[in-house]
Structure 1
Amino acid sequence: MRTVITFGTFDVFHIGHLNILKRARSLGDRLIVGVSTDALNYKKKGRYPIYKEEDRLAILSGLSCVNGIFREESLEWKGQYIREHKADVLVMGDDWSGKFDCYRDLCEVVYLKRTADISTTEILAGIRAAS
């Protein structure tokens, strides 16, 4: 059984999120998703997500392409998460290209092209501009 792991905040869930998750799942038999906690998101981006952690976890757990979820509490623990979930493949968006190559000794690392013309940051900027 080939296990794929990926990570993200998955705030304001959109088609880009769904596309990358489905493509990640196609690389293996199981897809495990690490969802950034609210605290980690604040540490990374200086703001809390729009949707609370519990809601983001519920959304992801309801997707047929996702076989398991867990809370990502630290960016520095990615290697530990890969080992813990016995991942064979780490998938990230190509905006992170090269940043996770240090995990190639633990698993295959794949960077998938993001869906063009959509991002949570752009969606939020459009909402703010319209209000």
Structure 2
Amino acid sequence: MKTVITFGTFDVFHVGHVNILQRASALGDTLIVGVSTDELNFSKKQRYPVYKQRDRMKIVNGLRYVNYCFYEESLEKKREYILKYDADILVMGDDWKGRFDEFKDICEVVYLERTPSVSTTQIIEIISSDDD
């Protein structure tokens, strides 16, 4: 039995999110997802997500590929989360390539290619520019 863990904000949920979660799920038997809290997202991007953390959690947790979700409260706790959930594989998008190699001592680290031409930030910018 292999446990896979991944992390993300999953704001303005789109096909790229589905693709990475589906592919992450295929690498093991159980997929655990850390959904970034609103505060963590603000600290990373200086903006709050469009959808509140409880709604993003509900969306991700409702996917058949996902076995369990939890709130990711701090980027510095990734090692703690990997150990707590006894993950065998950490999956991240390839835009983070190399950034999480420090965890190779406790699990396999896999970077999956992002879905081309799909970005939450771009979607938000397009929607925001329509208001002008």
| Structure 2 portions without partners, runs of 5+ | none
Q: Show CA shifts across 1:61-120 (max 9, x none).
A: 100000000000000000000000000000000000000000000100000000000000
Q: TM-score, normalised by structure 2?
A: 0.98
Amino acid at match of 1:117: S
Amino acid at match of 1:62: G
1:16 paired with 2:22, answer no
Identity %: 63
Distance 2:113 2:86 in 1: 24
Q: TM-score, normalised by structure 1?
A: 0.99
Residue 129 of structure 1: CA displacement? 1.5
Moved over 4 A (4+): none
What is the number of equivalent residue pairs in this alignment?
A: 131
Residue 36 of structure 1: CA displacement? 0.3
Residue 56 of structure 2 corresponds to 56
Amino acid at match of 2:39: A
Residue 124 of structure 1 corresponds to 124
SS in 1 for 2:18: helix
SS in 2 for 1:104: helix
Superposed, 1:14-93 pairs within 5 Å as 14-93=14-93
Residue 111 of structure 2 corresponds to 111
Distance 1:61 1:24 in 2: 14
Note the aligned Cα RMSD (angstroms). Answer: 0.4
Residue 130 of structure 1: CA displacement? 1.5
Distance 1:40 1:129 in 2: 25
